[in-house]
Chain A
């Protein structure tokens, strides 16, 4: 049931990414001051926006987990935060390249958005160690949700504090899409949609993979007899998928 629609979503994502990239390279005009370098904007900014939205979304999913106590919400929250972390690494790398290109340094401290992003990244980098350090799966899920909500609220707070603390240097393309010429705005919008689709697809892939692995494990346990092989669960940062959906019966109907 997790895999449904995965193929069409993947195809849509590939098409959107191809469209976005061709718009970036063949349609959007060269920016007057920065020239070709400015094109990284169509990659960097969507990555950053999607990663931040993903972090906040992870917090909202964690709220759902704490309200319903359904481990599926925890799994979704975990996957979304995991993917956002990967997107955040991409944001930091592309941001660094852009900073090197326009200001001559790989890292610029008086650039509030990049610095805020680093702090948020460092905070979320502790998400997996936190999960990893709690053995009881139920408690792990609960604590991870508490962390996800706190960190989700921290994201805007941190941006406010860091932005206040430094002179404004970031290229003002971010907050003012209205100032962009139409062709650039269109390209940016398509890139943003493509990036959002990529995020959704990757989350769906990870969810499907985790779910399938749990089903395979449950079936293998069934084959080797009920009390034969204990679940090979050691220390794990991955949410446990216990509950009705991973029982062999439920697995069979959805296979």
Chain B
């Protein structure tokens, strides 16, 4: 299992490194969205709830963009067939894709969060960084799991690019609630407290529940 996941993961990252299809697009999308927000809101700096909202909406849409592309190569170029022919555990693909998606999200956030701090954020990011990283990490796991599950589902449908976001958005609402509420107190000029523990707990519970569900159901999306 570990070797299979390793091999699949290497293949995923190698494909992404050679084609550069997803991550640059996601990062560019996020930065452009910040610019759009600047003009749409007519604000040159934001704080608190508004800042958290902009950050999470942008990250969410960029993540959905990536999740939509996650299985396209496998569906179009026979990756699924090759994998199904191999005598390996099907869950390996889920694990590899979730880790791939996580890697995409980490790179996306490495670009988007500094860009956000530079372009829009009115408060200093430095003191909040530790808590922000914890919140982002917990949310990323949930986004990666749902992104993988929905991506695998949507890639086999006719309206592939339409159905992915349509399925993913409502499913990710709890992540937005938890993430935005947890980060809002961090993104103010004089923040004193960390994120409330209940939001981190919500995110953790979400990750756990949907991790188990994805593990139980992913096999059914693959067989043909």
Number of residues of chain B lying within 8 A (CB) of chain A: 31
For the complex, give the distance between the alpha carbons of A160 and B213 in Å. 17
Asked whether any CB of chain B lies closer than 8 Å to the CB of A135, the reply is yes
A interface residues (Cβ-Cβ under 8 A, vs B): 66, 119-120, 122-123, 126, 129-130, 133-135, 139, 142-143, 145-147, 149-151, 153-154, 157-158, 160-162, 164-165
Residues of A near B198 (CB, < 8 A) are 164
Instruction: Indicate whether B133 reaches chain A with its CB closer than 8 angstroms.
Output: no
The answer, yes or no, to whether B99 is at the interface (CB within 8 Å) is: no
Which one, B156, B163, B173, B217, contacts A150 given CB within 8 A?
A: B217
Q: Are B163 and A149 in contact (CB under 8 A)?
A: no
Interface set of B (CB-CB < 8 Å, partner A): 149, 153, 156-159, 163, 166-167, 169-171, 173-174, 177-178, 181, 198-199, 202, 205-206, 209-210, 213, 216-217, 220-221, 223-224
Given contacts A119-B170, A123-B170, contact A130 B153 (CB under 8 A): yes
Known interface pairs A133-B158, A146-B153, A161-B202; A153-B224 also in contact (CB < 8 Å)? no
**Contact status B177-A150, CB under 8 Å:** no
Measured between beta carbons, the chain A residues less than 8 angstroms from B167 are: 123, 126, 130, 147
Interface SS, A side: helix
A139 to B75, CA, bound (A): 14
| Known pairs A129-B163, A157-B174, A158-B173; A146 contacts B220 (CB<8 A) | yes
Q: Are B163 and A130 in contact (CB under 8 A)?
A: yes
Kindly list chain B residues whose C-beta atoms are within 8 Å of the C-beta of A158: 173-174
Known: A129-B166, A142-B220, A161-B206. A153 touches B173 (CB 8 A): no
- Of the candidates A130, A142, A153, A162, the one whose C-beta lies within 8 Å of that of B177 is A162
Q: Which residue of chain A lies nearest to B166 when distances are taken between CB atoms in the complex?
A: A126
B170 touches A150 (CB 8 A): no
CB–CB A143/B210 < 8 A: no
Q: Chain B nearest CB: distance from A133 CB in Å?
A: 4
Q: Which of A66, A130, A150 contacts B171 (CB 8 A)?
A: A150
The one of A119, A133, A145, A164 that contacts B220, using a Cβ cutoff of 8 Å: A145
A residues in contact with B223, CB < 8 Å: 142
Using Cβ atoms and an 8 Å threshold, which residues of chain B touch A122?
169-170
The answer for the CA separation of A146 and B149 in the assembled complex, in Å, is: 9
CB-CB under 8 A for A146 and B173, given A135-B158, A157-B205, A164-B202: no
In the complex, which residues of chain B have a beta carbon less than 8 angstroms from the beta carbon of A130?
153, 157, 163, 167
Across the interface, which residues of B come within 8 angstroms of A129, CB to CB?
A: 159, 163, 166
CB distance from A70 to the nearest CB of B (A): 15
Residues of A with C-beta under 8 A to B206: 157, 161
13 sample A-B contacts, Cβ–Cβ < 8 Å, listed by A number: A119-B173, A122-B169, A130-B157, A133-B157, A133-B158, A134-B157, A134-B158, A143-B153, A150-B149, A150-B171, A153-B210, A154-B171, A161-B178
